[in-house]
A and B are shown apart, each in its own frame.
Chain A
Amino acid sequence: MTACLTTRAPEVDIADLVQDDKVHSSLYSDPAIFEAELDKVFNNTWVWVGHTSEVPESGSYKTAFIGRQPVIVSRDRKGDIHVMLNRCRHRAATVCEGKRGKVKSFVCPYHGWGYALDGELRAIPKPEEYQGVLDKKDFPLVRLRHETYQGMIFATFNPDIQPLEEHLGGAKKWIDLFMKQSGGYPLKVLGDHRFRFPGNWKIQLENTTDAYHFPVVHKSFVSSLDDQTSKIFDFLDGPGFVEDLGNGHSVMVMIPELVDLDANLDAPIPERFKDFAAELECEGYDDAQVRRLVRAVGGSGFNLNLFPNVACSMAFFRVLRPVAVDETEIHHVAIGGDGAPAAFNQLRMRLHEHFQGPMGFGTPDDAEAWERVQKGSRAGDREWILVNRSLGRLVTSPDGNTAGSVCSETGMRAAYRKYKQMMTA
């Protein structure tokens, strides 16, 4: 492992700006706070960079970002995964510009330095000029520590951080449940929607565990559903809950009956999936297989927020990337089953397109609301953002965690507690 030096941001004291029940508006708009966040949060913890299905074989790669820093996730000839800075060791040009694909090596376009899939520096034009000056073995692409859990690849600039599984802690149980939605096949990334909104990254982070906005912002989406499905999405007064899982992670269960997709396989097939079930039957799948695929196709009934940049959100991965204090890029990563029936993956993609992405029936309205939050948060200089809903009605969950109703702001408070700890360390 090569140590990576990052520029330390100017000191900012945010201790008073993050309180148990509110956070200060400047957290959305102060450039100095943003620089400190890159340094103390994104460059200092486990950050999601991809899923193993995105680099399925030797030579596969995908590009990603940790905070503002471009990285490459690659799979080498032995099948091992590497996460490396996307930066030539010579004069810093990026050595890979695609989203994802397959290559034999990474060659810098500027002077032709060539790196192997594991980052080793293999070729330098005019090597005689470097005799006695540079040894190739000392100049691989800078590799980052990375670990995976259930195919989710996380990397970190912090060599001393706790193992990934400890960091995930109470969230692991929910990741395991989330992975059941590929219908008995290995989970596979099917593509992603990418969009930006002019607002701070924490506005999106908060939104993943914000059930309160759903019936207001997503009224037009709910109107586009059949009666049976729209009732399922009418969960605000239901038995759902939000649970603080520790380390900034939280889960918001909106539809309790869709927590465990291996359970209730005998339940009647929902009206909206009847055509899908009939198609599977025509293709020769037996009743048990059909029921399992139908149960899995709509995704899980919860959003799991993993601090700071990824969520397992009902039926997709939501990834956020801070671009600037008032600019955030979001990827909605569609998932399905590797080797699953074509009809299964097709329906998963159609359901994804229905709500997600820049032309979905849900995402544009979210983005509009977030843009308005950013804009409005500039008003006043002593104003706060409230995250106090349900503080008077908290309970202890069966797992021993703090929990509130489905529309409580428990998840936001969980994230901000971890945020404060990291920002004041």
Chain B
Amino acid sequence: MSTLRAEVAAFIDLEADMLDFNQYREWLDLWEPDGVYVVPIDRETEDFANTLNFAYDKAEMRSLRVARLLSGDAISTQTTYKTVRSVSRLRILAEDGDTVKARCSQFIAENRHGNLKTYPADVTFTLRRSGDGFRMVEKVVRLLNADHHLSSIGYIL
């Protein structure tokens, strides 16, 4: 395994673990200030700003999303406070200077009202080197069923 691939895998595992264990504030620190978190409806588009998405979060919206999830005021978060996710099939797509683009698969399982549900997705990360690690410039979660109906999602994919 190349060093780069190992470094990226370690970062993506860390990010997944933070989200599964509700370390949302620490998760916010994994972002570059100009980073964008996107869950598109249209799996083919790259023009997220001009397309309706499930989520399109710049820094302020990410921060508000985290505040909402941690507030205890949102009843939908009380029934799905725990997820279990697995990321694998990692591939480095491009490396340009201090920026790396990588793609992986992600399976998230939630247990809501006793109903186990999974959301498979392709996830693309654009990472920028920062100190001895990475920061996220973009994370795009392309759900396998993005073009169809979902159920309510009270956590971060």
Q: Is B113 located at the chain interface by the 8 A CB criterion?
A: yes
Interface size of B by CB at 8 A reads 34
* Contact present for B52 and A349 (CB under 8 Å): yes
* Contact present for B56 and A353 (CB under 8 Å): yes
Main secondary structure of the interface of B (DSSP, over half): mixed
Q: Which of A192, A193, A359 has the most CB of B within 10 A?
A: A359
Q: Is A162 located at the chain interface by the 8 A CB criterion?
A: no
* Contact present for B50 and A346 (CB under 8 Å): yes
Chain B, 100-127, CB within 8 A of any chain A CB: 113
* Contact present for A352 and B52 (CB under 8 Å): yes
* Contact present for A368 and B79 (CB under 8 Å): yes
How many whole Å from A41's CB to the nearest CB in chain B?
A: 22
Which residue in A196, A223, A346 is a CB contact (below 8 Å) of B73?
A223
Which residue in B49, B53, B61, B76 is a CB contact (below 8 Å) of A367?
B76
Which residue in B50, B76, B78 is a CB contact (below 8 Å) of A342?
B50
* Contact present for B113 and A361 (CB under 8 Å): no
A-B contact pairs, 12 of them (CB 8 A): A99-B147, A219-B74, A223-B68, A224-B67, A349-B53, A353-B53, A353-B54, A353-B55, A354-B61, A365-B74, A368-B76, A375-B113
* Contact present for A367 and B152 (CB under 8 Å): yes
* Contact present for B50 and A359 (CB under 8 Å): no
Q: A193-B41, A349-B51 are in contact. Are A220 and B152 (CB under 8 A)?
A: no
Chain A, 315-374, CB within 8 A of any chain B CB: 329, 334, 342, 345-346, 349-350, 352-354, 357-359, 361, 363-365, 367-369, 371
* Contact present for A345 and B149 (CB under 8 Å): no
Q: Is B2 located at the chain interface by the 8 A CB criterion?
A: no
Q: Is A195 located at the chain interface by the 8 A CB criterion?
A: yes
How many whole Å from B28's CB to the nearest CB in chain A?
A: 15
* Contact present for A358 and B71 (CB under 8 Å): no
* Contact present for A220 and B73 (CB under 8 Å): yes
How many whole Å from A353's CB to the nearest CB in chain B?
A: 6
Q: Is B154 located at the chain interface by the 8 A CB criterion?
A: yes
Chain B, 41-95, CB within 8 A of any chain A CB: 41-42, 49-56, 61, 64-65, 67-68, 71, 73-79
Chain A, 254-313, CB within 8 A of any chain B CB: none
Query: Nearest 10 pairs between A and B by C-beta?
Result: A191-B52, A364-B152, A364-B76, A220-B74, A367-B152, A220-B73, A358-B150, A194-B149, A368-B76, A219-B73
Chain A, 183-234, CB within 8 A of any chain B CB: 190-197, 217, 219-221, 223-224
How many whole Å from A171's CB to the nearest CB in chain B?
A: 26
* Contact present for A364 and B154 (CB under 8 Å): yes
Which residue in B55, B76, B148, B154 is a CB contact (below 8 Å) of A194?
B148
* Contact present for A368 and B73 (CB under 8 Å): no
How many whole Å from A99's CB to the nearest CB in chain B?
A: 7
Chain A neighbourhood of B54, CB < 8 A: 193, 353, 357-359
Q: How far is the CA of A45 from the CA of B148 in the complex (A)?
A: 27
* Contact present for A217 and B151 (CB under 8 Å): no
* Contact present for A359 and B52 (CB under 8 Å): no
Interface size of A by CB at 8 A reads 37
* Contact present for B41 and A364 (CB under 8 Å): no
Q: Is B39 located at the chain interface by the 8 A CB criterion?
A: yes
Binding site for B on A (CB under 8 A): 99, 190-197, 217, 219-221, 223-224, 329, 334, 342, 345-346, 349-350, 352-354, 357-359, 361, 363-365, 367-369, 371, 375
Q: Which of A345, A353, A357, A364 has the most CB of B within 10 A?
A: A364
Closest B residue, CB atoms, query A345: B50
Q: How far is the CA of A94 from the CA of B71 in the complex (A)?
A: 46
* Contact present for A224 and B68 (CB under 8 Å): yes
Which residue in A194, A219, A365 is a CB contact (below 8 Å) of B150?
A194
Q: Which of B41, B52, B153 has the most CB of A within 10 A?
A: B52
Closest A residue, CB atoms, query B156: A359
Chain B neighbourhood of A350, CB < 8 A: 56, 61
Chain A neighbourhood of B52, CB < 8 A: 190-193, 334, 349, 352-353
* Contact present for A196 and B151 (CB under 8 Å): yes
Closest B residue, CB atoms, query A331: B149
How many whole Å from B24's CB to the nearest CB in chain A?
A: 14
How many whole Å from B113's CB to the nearest CB in chain A?
A: 7
* Contact present for B67 and A368 (CB under 8 Å): no
Closest B residue, CB atoms, query A348: B52
Chain A neighbourhood of B75, CB < 8 A: 217, 365, 368-369
Q: How far is the CA of A197 from the CA of B76 in the complex (A)?
A: 12
Chain A neighbourhood of B65, CB < 8 A: 361
